[in-house]
Amino acid sequence: MRQLLPGLLFAALWASASVATKFGVQSVHPLILATVRFFIAGGGMLMFAYGIQRVQNAWPKGIEWRQLTIFALLNTTIYLGAFVLALKQVSAGIGSLSTATNPLFIALLSALWLRKMPTLYQISGLLLGLVGVGVATYPLLQNSYATVEGLLILLGGMVSVSAATVYYASIKWRLPDLVINGWQVLLGGILILPFTLLTADFSNAHYDERFWLSVFWLIVPVSVGALQLWFYLVRQDAIRASLWLFLCPIFGFAYSYFLMGEPITSYTIVGTGLVIGGLWLGRRQ
């Protein structure tokens, strides 16, 4: 029960990020959306932690700055930067389905981190999961709901966030979760800012109601709510926490179908089943 309600709520909120991002990138360049989100979310969480909660002895010191910067680079700059760029080229449902492959990458990277050979189950599960994503995206590639470039960007982001999870679990953090979350999101915004200034198209940006609603949802329920729940779950058990990502495709395809009008086909169902089968296989001892 300590993980049931937080896990369900995490999966529902985390899966909603794909649809919220799809709405936001209709108004502005993806990196503009990401940068605005990072600065507002990170700054807001730190203001709350230091100004309202007045947490004591919670300023990063020495090596903690390096740890936060590495975590921010992997978890925010690369992963979420790649995610918003990919969502310009792939469907929201595929964005959520890709999230479910994280446990496979986490298990594989954990084995490599500990300098152990990945098990046959882990390798087989990862391959089966990737095949499942391929099956689910096949008709979407034909109908312009996804591109190969978008899928490759999404894959790079998945590897990065999985590495971030392994790295986070390997550190004995002194700082409270809210402070860690605030700093890593803000630092992620600082790191991505040069790329946004150099590559984003500001002339066609529309800071309309759709943009600000997308930013609000990505900040409050996702960046604050879902990540706080994720940190709580990882602190309880990193491997069990990753299993809640099983539910993300189910929530994600439901959101994309009802809110974006994106199709759910037999390929979607079979591909999702293969991903879940790969997750089950990868978790076997």
pLDDT tens for residues 75-93? 999 999 999 999 988 888 8
Q: How far is CA 157 from CA 32, 80, 161, 176, 177, in A?
A: 18, 7, 6, 26, 23
Mean pLDDT of 43-53: 92
Per-domain boundaries in the chain: 3-283
Q: Is the pLDDT of residue 66 over 80?
A: yes
Q: What is the pLDDT of residue 42?
A: 93
The type of residue at 20 is A
Distance CA 74, CA 80 (A): 9
Q: What is the pLDDT of residue 217?
A: 95
Q: What is the pLDDT of residue 115?
A: 72
Q: Is 273 in a helix, a strand, or coil?
A: helix
Confidence of residue 112 (pLDDT cuts 50, 70, 90): confident
Judge contact between 42 and 188, C-beta under 8 A. Answer: yes
Q: What is the pLDDT of residue 249?
A: 80
Write out the two tokens for 43.
């700054």
Between 191 and 105, residue with greater pLDDT: 191
Q: Is the pLDDT of residue 268 over 70?
A: yes
Listed as own residue / partner, the contacts of 195-204 with beta carbons closer than 8 Å and 24 or more positions apart are: 195/31, 195/81, 196/29, 196/31, 196/32, 196/34, 196/35, 199/29, 199/31, 200/28, 200/29, 200/31, 200/32, 201/29, 202/29, 202/32, 204/29
User: Which of the residue ranges 4-8, 59-63, 199-203 would you say has the lowest mean pLDDT?
Assistant: 4-8
Q: Rg of the chain over CA atoms, in angstroms? A: 18
Q: Is the pLDDT of residue 8 over 80?
A: yes
Distance CA 181, CA 82 (A): 19
How do residues 10-24 score in pLDDT, each as one tens digit? 989 988 999 999 999
Mean pLDDT of 181-191: 95
Q: At what angle do helices 92-99 and 4-24 cross, to 10 degrees?
A: 140
Q: What is the pLDDT of residue 16?
A: 93
Q: Which residue has the tokens 């076997």?
A: 284
Q: Is the pLDDT of residue 28 over 90?
A: yes
